[in-house]
Amino acid sequence: DILTEDAFENAIIVQMAIGGSTNGIIHLTALARRAGIPMDLEIFDRVSQSIPLLANIKPSGKYVMEDFYYAGGLRALMKMLESRLHLGTQTINGKTVQDNLEGAEVYNKDVIRPIKNPVSPAGGTAILRGSLAPNGAVIKPTAAEKRLWKHKGLAVVFKDIRDLKARVDSKDLEVTPDSILVLQNAGPVGGPGMPEWGQLPVPKKLLDQGVRDIVRISDARMSGTSYG
C-alpha cells in the first residue's frame, strides 16, 4: 500500500524540483521494479518537462544544503509542490502526504522558490536520445554551463578507466575547450557494475587555462549533485 505508482511519481516530482542526483534515476527504477511497478526513462522525462526546479542550491543554484534546511527543508519544498503531488498517497508513518505537509512553511523564498518563480522552468534532470544513446542518456542541464547545452566538438576518446588515468592530465593530450571527452567500457558490463567513473576530470591542460566545464560522455554513472 506504500510503494505505489503514485508514491514513485511523487518521488520523481521531488527529485526534479530539488535538482537531485542523477543516481536517483537508477535507485528509483530499481526500487520500483523490485516492487513490480514498471518504470523507464520516459516517466522521468515526462515529469522533468512539467516540474520546475525550485531548490536554489548547488550545483544548480547558489545556496548550500544547510541553507535549504533552514529555509524549511524537504517538507517546505513539497508544500510548494502541493498542487502537483498525489496528496492522498500513504507514507511509512501511517499518514498521507497531505497530512505530513500540514504546517510546513518556507522561510526563505529565494532558497526554496514558488512554482511561479522557479530556478528553472524544467526539472533538474533531462533525458537525451541520439545515435550514441538510442535508449536514452541522463544529463543534469541546470548544473552545466549554458554555453554547452548546444555544442559541437571533436571527441577525445578513452577506451577505459586505465586509459583515462594514464592520459587525461598529459601535456601532450590533444584537447581544447571545445573537445568532448568520451569514456568507454565503464558501464554495468564494462566496469563492471557501473561505478561512478562518469565524473571525468577536466584535463589539467584546460584547468590551467581557466576552463571549468566541458562536455563529457560516458556509459558509467556519476553523482549529479556534483555537476552536469
Phi-psi sector, 149: left (phi>0), alpha (psi -120 to 50), beta: alpha
Sequential DSSP letters for 194-216: --S---PPPPHHHHTTT----EE
Q: What is the DSSP string of 44-107?
A: HHHHHHHS-B-B-BTTTSSB-HHHHHHTTHHHHHHHHTTTTS-TT-B-TTSSBHHHHTTT---S
Phi-psi sector, 180: left (phi>0), alpha (psi -120 to 50), beta: beta
179 noted as active-site residue: no
Dig out the grid coordinates for 80 from the structure: 510548494
21, 50, 218, 223: the catalytic one is: 223
Nearest to 68 by CA among 116, 122, 25, 14: 14
Residues that are catalytic: 223
